C-alpha cells in the first residue's frame, strides 16, 4: 500500500486519539509524577536541587537529541512501528528507574527511558495528522491535548500519594502496565503507516542518516545546559571561566549545526520547514513560552514541600499542582476547536499574555505563608492560559508543515517544548543559586547547616523566587510578540 493510499484509510477520531494517546499519556504522566517527587528524591539521596535536577535534565536532553531523529525514522520507515518501539523502550526504562539504587543510576535509567519517549512524542502527533484533514485536525490535536492534560492532572495527585505511601520508586513502576496495554492497542487499531515519499528513491541516499547533525544538536544543548549548571557551584567566580567556555562551545556548535544541516542530503533538522513564517513563529514562541512556564512549574513543588515555607506533604502538593492540568483538560480541546475557525495568532498570543499576567500577580502575592485558596486560584488561571496557547499553536505549526514531513515537523514541535522545559529548569536553578547568595548577604544568613548540607532562610528563598518569576515575564512577552507576527492561517481545505 502506498503512502497516498494509507492516508485515505478511515480511522475514527476516538480510536485514533485513544491509541496514540496511551503513549503520550505515559510520557506526560511520567513528567508530572517525577516533578512532584523531586523533593523526596532529593532527600532520599541526600543531594541538593542542583544535583537532583539532572533526573529531569538527562531525560529532557536525551529526548531533545533524539526527537527529530525519531520523527525522521517514522517518515522513512513507519510512524506506527517507531511509535510502538518507543512504547517498549519507555516501559523497560521505567522498570530500570524504579530499581535504581543511586542517583547516578537513576539518571542513566532516565536516559534509557527517554529513548522511548522520543519515539512517542515525535510520531504520536504525526500519526494523528496522517489520518485527519484540516476539517478535524484541530479537534484531534485538541483531544490529544486533553489526554496530555489528563495525565498531567492525575500525575501530581497519584504521584504524591504513591511517593508518600509507597516510595518514589512506585511512580516508575506505574508505567509498566500502561505500556503493555498501549503497545497491544496500537497494534490492533492503527493501520500500517508506510514510508512517506519525501526521500530519494535510490536506497543509498534514502536511508543515509545525518550523523553529524545528530551529534551537533545534543552538543549544542548539553554545553548550554552544563554552562548554567556549573554556575550552581559554591565558588561561582572561580568556576565562571568554565561556564563561559561552555557557552562559547554551545554557540560554535550551533553555528556549525546550521551550516551542516543546510548542506546535508537528508538533514536531521530540515531547515526548509523554517521558510514558512507560521511554522517558524510557532516553534520560537513555543520555546520562549515553555521556558517561562517551566520556571514556575519546576520550582513550585520545592517551595510547597520546603519545611520552612509551606511544609506540605507530597499528596497535598499534588492536589494543588493538579489545578493546572485540570483546567488545561477543558481549555485544550476548546482552544483546539476554536483554532479550526480563528487564527492562532490571536488565540495563542492571548494565551501567552494571560500566562504573563498570572505570573505577575503570583510574584506580587507570593509569601512563605501564601493563602492556599489564592494559590489554587492562580494555578487554575495558569491552566486556562496554557491551554489556550498550546493547542492552537500546535495546530498552526502542523497545518503549516508539508504532508510528507509530518513526522519531522512533529519532532521539531515536541523538540521546541522540551528545549523550553530544559532552559526553564537550568535557568531557574542557576538564577535561584545566584539570588539566594545575594539575599543571604543582605539578610545576614548562612546557606549551609553545620553538617554542610544546604539550608536557605525562608525570607531569602521567597525573595529569590519572586525575582525568578519576575525575570520569566520578558520570555513570555517576547513569545507573545513572535506568536502574533506569524500571520494568518490558510483556511482552504485540501
Number of separate domains in the chain: 1
Domain assignment present for 428? yes
Q: Which of 112-126, 131-145, 193-207, 298-312 has the lowest mean pLDDT?
A: 193-207
pLDDT at 7 over 60: no
Q: Which of 10-14, 15-19, 211-215, 243-247 has the lowest mean pLDDT?
A: 10-14
Asked if 191 and 344 touch (Cβ cutoff 8 Å), the reply is: no
Domain assignment present for 248? no
pLDDT at 202 over 70: no
Task: Give the model confidence (pLDDT) of 367-416 as tens digits.
Answer: 888 888 998 999 899 889 988 898 888 888 888 888 777 767 877 887 78
Number of CB atoms found within 10 A of residue 5's CB: 10
What percentage of the chain carries pLDDT values higher than 70? 90
Q: How confident is the model at residue 208 (pLDDT cuts 50, 70, 90)?
A: low
- Compute the average pLDDT of residues 191-212: 63
Domain that holds residue 137: 3-195+266-484
Domain assignment present for 47? yes
- Compute the average pLDDT of residues 1-13: 54
- Compute the average pLDDT of residues 299-306: 85
Domain assignment present for 455? yes
pLDDT at 491 over 60: no
Domain assignment present for 279? yes
State the Cα angle at 115 between 111 and 118, rounded to 5°.
120
Domain assignment present for 9? yes
Domain assignment present for 249? no
- Which residue blocks in 400-457 are alpha helix, DSSP H? 406-443
Asked if 398 and 125 touch (Cβ cutoff 8 Å), the reply is: yes
pLDDT at 193 over 50: yes
Domain assignment present for 252? no
DSSP conformation class of 191: P
The CATH number of residue 138's host domain is: 1.20.1250.20
DSSP for 323-344 reads HHHHHHHHHHHHHHHHTTTS-H
pLDDT at 351 over 70: yes
Alpha carbon separation from 377 to 31, 160, 351 (Å, rounded): 23, 20, 17
Amino acid at each position: 500500500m502506498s503512502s497516498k493510499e494509507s492516508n485515505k484509510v478511515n480511522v475514527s477520531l476516538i480510536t485514533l486519539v485513544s491509541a496514540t494517546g496511551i503513549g503520550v499519556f505515559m510520557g506526560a504522566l511520567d513528567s508530572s509524577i517525577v516533578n512532584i517527587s523531586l523533593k523526596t528524591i532529593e532527600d532520599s539521596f541526600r543531594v541538593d536541587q542542583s544535583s537532583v535536577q539532572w533526573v529531569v535534565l538527562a531525560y529532557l536532553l536525551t529526548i531533545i537529541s533524539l526527537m527529530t531523529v525519531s520523527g525522521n525514522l517514522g517518515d522513512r520507515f513507519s510512524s506506527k512501528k517507531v511509535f510502538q518501539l518507543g512504547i517498549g523502550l519507555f516501559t523497560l526504562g521505567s522498570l530500570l528507574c524504579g530499581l535504581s539504587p543511586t542517583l547516578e543510576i537513576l539518571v542513566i535509567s532516565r536516559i534509557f527511558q527517554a529513548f522511548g519517549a522520543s519515539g512517542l512524542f515525535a510520531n504520536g502527533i504525526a500519526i494523528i495528522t496522517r489520518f485527519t484533514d484540516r476539517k478535524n485536525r484541530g479537534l484531534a490535536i485538541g483531544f490529544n491535548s486533553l489526554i496530555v492534560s489528563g495525565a498531567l492532572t492525575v500525575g501530581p495527585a497519584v504521584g504524591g500519594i504513591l511517593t508518600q505511601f509507597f516510595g518514589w520508586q512506585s511512580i516508575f513502576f506505574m508505567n509498566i502496565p500502561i505500556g503493555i496495554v498501549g503497545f497491544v492497542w496500537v497494534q490492533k487499531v492503527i493501520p500500517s503507516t508506510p514510508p512517506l515519499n519525501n526521500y530519494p528513491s535510490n536506497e543509498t541516499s534514502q536511508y543515509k542518516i545525518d550523523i553529524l547533525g545528530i551529534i551537533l544538536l545534543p552538543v549544542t544543548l548539553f554545553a548550554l545546559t552544563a554552562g548554567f549548571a556549573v554556575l550552581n557551584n559554591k565558588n561561582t567566580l572561580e568556576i565562571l571561566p568554565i561556564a563561559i567556555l561552555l557557552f562559547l562551545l554551545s554557540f560554535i556548535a550551533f553555528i556549525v549545526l546550521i551550516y551542516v544541516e543546510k548542506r546535508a542530503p537528508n538533514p536531521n533538522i530540515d531547515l526548509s520547514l523554517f521558510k514558512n513564517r507560521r511554522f517558524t513563529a510557532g516553534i520560537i514562541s513555543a520555546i520562549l513560552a515553555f521556558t517561562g512556564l517551566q520556571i514556575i512549574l519546576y520550582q513550585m513543588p520545592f517551595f510547597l514541600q520546603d519545611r520552612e515555607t509551606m511544609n506540605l506533604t507530597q499528596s497535598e502538593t499534588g492536589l494543588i499542582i493538579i489545578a493546572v492540568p485540570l483546567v488545561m483538560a477543558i481549555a485544550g480541546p476548546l482552544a483546539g476547536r476554536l483554532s479550526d475557525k480563528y487564527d492562532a495568532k490571536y488565540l495563542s498570543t492571548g494565551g501567552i499574555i494571560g500566562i504573563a499576567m498570572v505570573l505577575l500577580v503570583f510574584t506580587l502575592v507570593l509569601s512563605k505563608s501564601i493563602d492556599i485558596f489564592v494559590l489554587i486560584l492562580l494555578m487554575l488561571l495558569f491552566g486556562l492560559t496554557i491551554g489556550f496557547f498550546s493547542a492552537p499553536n500546535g495546530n498552526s505549526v502542523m497545518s503549516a508543515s508539508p504532508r510528507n514531513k509530518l513526522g519531522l515537523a512533529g519532532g521539531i514541535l515536541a523538540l521546541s517544548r522540551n528545549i523550553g522545559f530544559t532552559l526553564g529548569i537550568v535557568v531557574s536553578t542557576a538564577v535561584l543559586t545566584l539570588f539566594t547568595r545575594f539575599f543571604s548577604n543582605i539578610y545576614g544568613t548562612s546557606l549551609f547547616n553545620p553538617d554542610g548540607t544546604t539550608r536557605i532562610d525562608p525570607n531569602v528563598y521567597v525573595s529569590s523566587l519572586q525575582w525568578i518569576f519576575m525575570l520569566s515575564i520578558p520570555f513570555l512577552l517576547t513569545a507573545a510578540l513572535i506568536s502574533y507576527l506569524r500571520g494568518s492561517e490558510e483556511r482552504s481545505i485540501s
